[in-house]
Amino acid sequence: MKILSGTSNLRLSKEISKKLKLKLVNTNIKRFSDGEIFIEINENIRGNSVFVIQSTSNPANDNLMELLLVIDALKRSSAKNITAVIPYFGYARQDRKVAPRTSISAKVVANLITNAGASRVVTVDLHAGQIQGFFDMPVDNLFTTPLFAKYIKRKFNNKKLICVSPDVGGVQRTRGLATRIKADLAIIDKRRPKPGQSKVMNIIGSVKGKTCIIVDDIIDSGGTIVNAVDALKKAGAVEVYVFITHAVLSGDAVKKIKNSKINKLIITDTIDTSQKIKNNNKIEVISISSLMSEAIKRIANSNSVSDLFN
């Protein structure tokens, strides 16, 4: 087994390889002056199972192309099999047609990864579970719910908790966390006038006098979460903590979070946000390196991955 890292999240790749007690594959990845990407594998990987770690985060297209070229280089170097480990799967929000004559971009990306030569995909908290069906190969979709539940039990043991879904689509994820920490469930009914904007309509469930735990897979511009927190506070919530897997944090999202009524935003390191959130004490990072390294080890040893979440 060998671990190879792309350039999108080298920090996470190093943590994973350290836990697996393996060195990262010696790889030369560079960009020409016109933006073209050059990949060179500097060691023999013939007959090896190779795990390529690369989030397709911003710049999404560059990081996706880099992943495809690395997979192709490994295929041409006679790797036995290639697993694309994609902590953050970009384009996942475009998983269906929301209007006439639009692309189902998540399916296009799945086709690209398949045709490049990957034999398996490992990812974390896909925005839509049905994206697994876009691939004609095994897909392991890892969940951060156990990590969040462990954190909550350790930090909020004596608080009156309620888990809040930021929209109807996230109810299943929120219920999963609520079950683990034995908390009640509330749902925010919102309307989205246009992409990146949302308006809270109603809160289904009583949050008065309680500590609210909002859980979601992605925070992008931050507007939706800030509006949700304001609505919960108006409804009588004592504190609001937000747990997010993928911290896209585009535009002035970090500034919005800092100036909001959020008590704390807890994110994972599927996307490298170290520079963005520097000196922001409202944001805390939980590493998923242990979860991913254990999943990689189980796949390499042909053991069950789903047992990780039982």
Write out the catalytic residue numbers.
190
| Residues 147/268, Cβ–Cβ less than 8 Å | yes
Q: Which amino acid is at 202?
A: N
Torsions phi, psi for 127 (to 5 deg): -60, -35
Rounded-to-10 torsion of CA 200, 204, 210, 213: -70
The DSSP code for 25 is: P
Eight-class DSSP state of 125: S
**C-alpha to C-alpha distance for 224 and 214, rounded to whole angstroms:** 11
DSSP string, 139-170: EEEE-SHHHHHHHHHHH-TTS-EEEEESSGGG
SS3 289: helix
- ω into residue 59 within 30 of 0, thus cis? yes
φ, ψ of residue 266 to 5 degrees: the values are -110, 120
Render the burial of 208-244: b for 16+ CB within 10 Å, e for the rest. eebbbbbbbbbbbbbbbbbbbbebbbebebebbbbbb
Q: Which residues pair with 50 in a beta bridge?
A: 2, 82
> Hey, what are 296's tokens?
């990689």
